[in-house]
Structure 1
């Protein structure tokens, strides 16, 4: 697939969201009316395929109501939707556009996460994509996952678009205090972080330290104090060691099933 070597052009691409830019899609998610079209039966939590419309524009989206979240032993009940919104906030702060536009709002079944549906490039072999070592967009995603402590980066969560941009979805089991990075993207473990990644991580660290920053305020709304502190600590570690992290010996390194 074509790789997006610059994020600025990819960020304004409209092919992923039915002709809308990410900014237009984000506003539509905030103000539009949600209509449920069906349920994604394969998802472990209630995941509803919807349209969102303001009377002039419409788009496909995914709605995950808090009421449909399955309790997990290692995450507080009712917090997965907020973690998805937190992941979007971190993605935007890094400037890589890793996560599709995402909001936390009311819907037909109560409060939940609503995210624009990505119209992906179905010609891409996702298994082959996940193994690539020279794909900068994929490598950026690996750094993003290390920051948010993503414990479920499966191959099926990779969403490449026809324009070459790469999105990722399903970040509800992120931001745990304990190191739980579980991903199919280990091909850069121990390798030096790129200069671009280090620059963006340093800027992210400054924003996380500022309690008045919009990023910090968004994370404070959806995460516990110790979880926000853990985000800063993970960024500190990345900046100190300047390499991609290694798998934990105490936690499965790859999600199951990996696809």
Structure 2
């Protein structure tokens, strides 16, 4: 469970009220609200009220996988968040392990995201499909394919440093499922990644739609953050991750980070299935 100790924070202690379910998710994924009747103490000592929207994934709703131990996906989401925070990147919304109406599970702050097609006069989403070869300015083409209607299309993603940072994080956490719908542009101007249940395996598992930077150098400022991360891993951070990951998985995380420092180039696809399916 969450041990942060921020008593009075509705996100951590408030009752979760289920208001919907994400029907396209592989595992039970519930949208919840923590009601305004949950009081929280401000720094001035006065009681306030807050309503918080979250995503809740109970451990009991996880679908068994052949290559990830049962009941570990919620913890991997929390561990991925802690890696993002330790790097100072803020890519993943705040994520904790706590009790909910269906027992313990992952709880993550909701991201209010931009609908590009309505807000920006048809500009593609951060990751999108466009007519074959019609790559918009500021985007990179990942591959060409045929969509469900038989039309030839290009899979593209934004050439955006915020998204590039997410792609580097995916290399570090060995993300096996970076779908297009898992990259969100928040109304607050941030770019956030969600759905990190099948990450941090000890064996190579990287599957992502963010291959547009493959073979290109990693920025120096990101490498500096990774260097700091590597130095912090043997201490309190590593102890915290050990509550969710095996020693072998933590060692593999350290090895991936050190490999990027030694050879600061984004990897090339090296498997028969480098992109998750479906891609969105």
TM-score scaled by length of structure 2: 0.79
- Aligned residue pairs total 231
Between Structure 1 and Structure 2, which shows a larger proportion of helix residues?
1
Within the alignment, does 1:104 sit opposite 2:94 as a pair? Answer: no
Q: Give the greater-gyration-radius structure (CA).
A: 2
The ranges of structure 1 where at least 4 consecutive aligned residues each deviate by more than 4 angstroms after the TM superposition are: none
Summarize the alignment of residues 56-67 of structure 1 with structure 2, pairs less than 5 Å apart: 56-67=49-60
2-side partners of 1:118 and 1:65: how far apart? Answer: 19
For 1:166 and 1:38, how far apart are their aligned partners in 2?
24
The superposition leaves residues 115-158 of structure 1 with CA deviations (integer Å, 9 ceiling, x where unpaired) of 01111011252234673463100100000000100000010001
Please, which moves more after superposition, 122-131 or 152-161? 122-131
Q: 5+ unaligned residues in a row in structure 2: which ranges? A: 1-5, 40-48, 118-123, 129-138, 141-155
Q: State the partner residue of 2:206.
A: 181
Pick from 19, 24, 27 the counterpart of residue 45 of structure 1: 27
Mapped contact 2:157–2:210 kept (Cα < 8 A): no
Q: Partner residue of 2:152?
A: none
CA distance in 2, matches of 1:27, 1:240: 41
Secondary structure of 1:221's partner? coil
Task: Note the C-alpha offset of 1:187.
Answer: 1.0
What's the TM-score, normalizing by structure 1?
A: 0.85
Structure 1: 5+ residue stretches without partners: 1-23
Q: 1:192 aligns with which of 217, 222, 234?
A: 217
Q: Is the 8 A contact 1:29 1:103 kept in 2?
A: no
* Structure having the larger proportion of residues in strand: 2
Matched, 1:208 2:190: no
- Describe how 1:130-141 pairs up with structure 2 within 5 A: 131-132=156-157, 134-141=159-166
Using CA pairs under 8 Å that are at least 6 residues apart, name the structure with larger relative contact order, 1 or 2. 1
